[in-house]
Amino acid sequence: MDVRTRILDAALRLLAKGGAQELTQPRICKAAGVRQSHLTYYFPTIHDLVLAVALHTLETIAAEVEKHEPAQRPSSFIDAVAGVSSDKRRVRMMLGLVTAADREPRLKPRMRELIKALRQGLVPVLKAAGVEGTPEQVAFMHSVVVGQAVLQLARDDDGARREARKVFGKAVEFLRRKG
């Protein structure tokens, strides 16, 4: 595993353990087994790291979906999104960032940048699933994913995960039909 990926994985583990407040340079370096110079080489700021973690998640989903034949891509998209939305580490990370930005207004512009980057990353994922990927479609799917992720974290049971899969399926079906 390369250094960048080790850092991203370490950041996810720390987020899962204790939320966004765990993302300090010393903790990340220790968890990843790297020197601080390596961390700042790849991610000069904590914002760069958080953005990279979020985008890494989307890139992984897109690659997974694109491995399948076009006819199977909608279901593989649903599988991938269901997996990510039930990943407590990522959901806690996003909720931690939202809470931090709510408490600290100077973080709002960075949150807007993060949301913009996430939505841009969602376009190829949706296209791979057979959806055009218009701004409205991306905003709709982003809202569906975030909502289901929060509900799964709150309920934390098999029923919530089954419901999320069904909702994602309905959302993709709707977007493919409506365009």
Query: Domain spanning 1-44 has what CATH number?
Result: 1.10.10.60
83, two tokens: 């997996």
Domain 46-178 CATH class label = mainly alpha
Q: Give the burial class of 38: count Cβ atoms within 10 A of its Cβ; 0-12 exposed, 13-18 middle, 19 or more buried.
A: middle
Euclidean distance between CA atoms 96 and 153, whole angstroms: 13
pLDDT digits (tens, 9 = 90+) for 96-152: 778 877 887 887 887 888 888 888 888 988 888 889 999 999 999 999 999 999 999
pLDDT digits (tens, 9 = 90+) for 89-111: 778 877 877 887 788 788 788 78
Q: What are the extents of the domains in the chain?
A: 1-44, 46-178
